[in-house]
């Protein structure tokens, strides 16, 4: 079984070079991985999905 790492928004911004608004705009357009709710007010992205997005980009 492969475990995946959760990335918080700050990490996604650093890895992709995108700004917060761009990330959410791309998500609304279906062009960026969706966030996963990990707590009451916390979200994260799967590192593998961000890696795949970067490769496709």
Q: What does each of the 57 residues of the chain score in pLDDT, given as a tens digit? A: 456 899 999 999 999 999 999 999 999 999 999 999 999 999 999 999 999 999 998
Overall domain count for the chain: 1
Q: Please tell me the predicted confidence (pLDDT) of residue 25.
A: 98
Whole-number Å distance between alpha carbons of 47 and 1: 16
3-class DSSP state of 48: helix
Note whether residue 46 is domain-resident.
yes
Q: Please tell me the predicted confidence (pLDDT) of residue 4.
A: 87
Note whether residue 1 is domain-resident.
no
Q: Please tell me the predicted confidence (pLDDT) of residue 1.
A: 41
Note whether residue 33 is domain-resident.
yes
Q: Please tell me the predicted confidence (pLDDT) of residue 56.
A: 93
Q: What are phi and psi of 25, to 5 degrees?
A: -65, -45
Find the radius of gyration of the CA atoms of the chain. 11
Give the CATH number, domain containing residue 35. Answer: 1.10.238
Q: Please tell me the predicted confidence (pLDDT) of residue 3.
A: 61
Please give the DSSP secondary-structure letter assigned to residue 29.
T
């Amino acid at each position: 079984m492969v475990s995946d790492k959760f990335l918080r928004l700050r990490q996604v911004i650093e890895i992709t070079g995108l700004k917060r608004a761009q990330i959410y705009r791309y998500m609304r357009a279906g062009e960026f991985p969706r966030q996963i709710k990990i707590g009451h007010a916390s979200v994260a992205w799967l590192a593998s999905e961000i890696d795949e997005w970067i490769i496709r980009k």
